[in-house]
Amino acid sequence: MARSSTNLRYRILNQARQTLVSEGYRALSMRRLANSVGCTATSIYLYFQNKDALFHALIDEGIGLLHQKLVQAGQSAGQAKDRLQDLAEAFLDFGLKNPEYYEVMFLLHPEHMERYPAEKYRKARENLEFFAQALAEDAGRPQNPTKEDRLQANVVWASLHGAVSLLLAGRVDVRLDQKLFLNTLVKQFIQPTSP
């Protein structure tokens, strides 16, 4: 096979992402992936320790992408409540528009895959911190999220994750209006300004 000029690792990762998005998790085998990228299955092992490591690389990408979207959403000036709303919407939007990314990131857990290395969770924690900050500010203690804010951030996170994962799995009653469902969910943790 012709020695490829460009970085093979890069091409493998690209193809993996593409296959994952277009044909789903099941279609992603080492041999098939190798085939569509133009090398042998074992070559992949030169760049990734194993199949899980490949997925981890995709998780990296996914976390980066989500991070980016949350940074954007978090930049909106104005009330903390609005920022919180924007953050929530950004998360939901990311999840629903990138189902395959979302799947590798949050739905393929340790039972099926080697644990995603803890030291790489920094960005993931940062993502959570955005929520904590908006919550802190909203509660009138800007700049320094307390333990309580972080707790609340986790709750918000869990709710959003629950909604996305149920929707992606097709487990929410189809007769339900999806937008209404998500709005109601978001309102649940965005308390109206106390009268």
Partner DNA sequence: AGAGAAACTTGACAGTGTTAACTTAACAGT
Partner DNA sequence: ACTGTTAAGTTAACACTGTCAAGTTTCTCT
**Amino acid symbol at 174:** V
- Interior angle at CA 146, CA 144 and CA 148, nearest 5: 150
Q: Measure Cα distances from 34 to 16, 28, 45, 84, 103 in Å.
A: 9, 10, 11, 43, 22
3 makes contact with DNA (CB under 7 A):
yes
154 binds, among DNA, a second copy, none (CB under 5 to 8 A by kind): a second copy
Check if the beta carbon of residue 34 is closer than 8 Å to that of residue 25. no
Helix (H) or strand (E) holding 98: none
Binding mask 7-46 for DNA (x = CB under 7 A): -x-------------------xxxxx------xxxxx-xx
119 makes contact with a second copy (CB under 8 A):
no
For DNA (CB under 7 A), the number of binding residues is: 19
Tell which phi-psi region holds residue 170, choosing left (phi > 0), alpha (psi between -120 and 50) or beta.
Answer: left
Q: How far is Cα of residue 186 from the mean position of the Cα atoms in its chain?
A: 18
Binding mask 5-44 for a second copy (x = CB under 8 A): -------------------xxx------------------
127 makes contact with a second copy (CB under 8 A):
no
In whole angstroms, how close is the CB of 157 to a second copy at the nearest point?
A: 7
For residues 36 and 44, give the distance between their C-alpha atoms in angstroms, rounded to a whole number. 12
139 makes contact with a second copy (CB under 8 A):
no
Tokens of 54: 């490949």
In whole angstroms, how close is the CB of 11 to a second copy at the nearest point?
A: 24
79 binds, among a second copy, DNA, none (CB under 5 to 8 A by kind): none
**Amino acid symbol at 126:** E
Interface positions with a second copy (CB under 8 A): 24-26, 103, 106-107, 109-112, 115, 125, 128, 150-152, 154-155, 157-163, 165-166, 168-173, 176, 180-181, 184-185, 188-189
